[in-house]
Chain A
Amino acid sequence: GQNIDQPTEMTATEGAIVQINCTYQTSGFNGLFWYQQHAGEAPTFLSYNVLDGLEEKGRFSSFLSRSKGYSYLLLKELQMKDSASYLCAVVDSNYQLIWGAGTKLIIKP
């Protein structure tokens, strides 16, 4: 079967750095997305990785290791507005998008 694993919930402090991990077992791989979803709202696109390595975009960075089936989303200088769920989604060999259940990130002052 196909599987995406993310921690259910994480807590971090305002101003700090947090790393949200995602591991996947899918039939093939054609890229990995990270989306942010605030409570009661729709997901919004954060990043797409298809090659190994780190991609930085402002306070957010996303890392991919295809050989390990592993990605992480790194959030720096955390702000209260970063409290949200972060969804990892993998494109499999059939170009279907397989979604993880998301990691709920709680930011404390």
Chain B
Amino acid sequence: DAMVIQNPRYQVTQFGKPVTLSCSQTLNHNVMYWYQQKSSQAPKLLFHYYDKDFNNEADTPDNFQSRRPNTSFCFLDIRSPGLGDAAMYLCATSREGGGVDEQFFGPGTRLTVL
């Protein structure tokens, strides 16, 4: 089945220790997104790629970076995680950009910062 895969599902890191979250898709979609979602809050868009064209949201902290080495894979790097970065990180894809396409989400990675 075509899908969006995120690894790991649960990630524990220490305060200030860099961590990388990964996402892959078999849907062959052009657009990939990274969201941060805290409990009972709306998903917050961090980055999105249209193909390899990188788009950084204006209020995404510098502590977050992203890479999309090819169409199928996307990575989220958190350089120095703080306690406030503990959240669910969701990867999503859509066939095209422009916001009007349905987004397909991966199962998410829940990040705990100790």
Contact = CB atoms under 8 A, between A and B. Distances in A.
Question: Do A and B belong to a common assembly?
Answer: yes
A91 B105 contact: no
Interface residues of B, number: 21
Nearest to B110: A40
B29 to A, nearest CB: 13
Contacts, number: 56
Interface of A is mostly: loop
A41 B45 contact: no
Interface size class of A (residues with CB under 8 A): 20 to 34
A89 B87 CA distance: 20
Nearest to B107: A42
Given A40-B110, A42-B107, 13 more contacts: A30-B99, A30-B100, A31-B100, A33-B102, A41-B107, A42-B90, A42-B92, A43-B43, A43-B103, A87-B43, A96-B99, A97-B99, A104-B40
Interface of A: 4, 8, 30-31, 33, 40-45, 48, 50, 85, 87, 91-92, 95-97, 99-102, 104
